[in-house]
Homo-oligomer: A and B are copies of this chain.
Amino acid sequence: MNAEPGFAPNVLAAECPSRQVLKHLTSQWGVLVLLALQEGTLRFSALRRRVGGVSERMLAQTLQVLEGDGLIRRTAHQVVPPHVDYALTPLGQEAALRVAALTGWIEENLPAFLGTRT
């Protein structure tokens, strides 16, 4: 399909916009949120409980960034006790796959890492 960028995206180039996306995706909490949402839609406080150690502030901020990149979809139900849920978009699901591949590999090889440190 078309795709005539005039330039090839390259993360090794400082000016490439892909750098920003990379930064968002690989941010401390970005990775974990993607991972948590891979299992299904979650609401704010459930997400907060799922992702160990995240503060409300950082969770809210991270969610906004990821939503801005089109990776997650935020749905607010106008009911009295606020009810909002977050889910991955198709794009987000693809991203989550790659992220999960990385984190899964880390978990599997954790002994190897712990071993290198005496």
Contacts and interface: CB of A to CB of B under 8 A. Distances in A.
Contacts of A9: 106-108, 110
Contact of A113 (B28, B69, B105, B116): B69
A25 interface: yes
Interface size bucket, A side?
Answer: 35 or more
A111 B5 contact: yes
Nearest to A91: B112
17 contacts: A3-B111, A11-B31, A12-B35, A12-B50, A12-B51, A15-B52, A22-B103, A25-B102, A26-B26, A26-B27, A26-B31, A70-B113, A91-B109, A91-B113, A94-B109, A98-B102, A102-B102
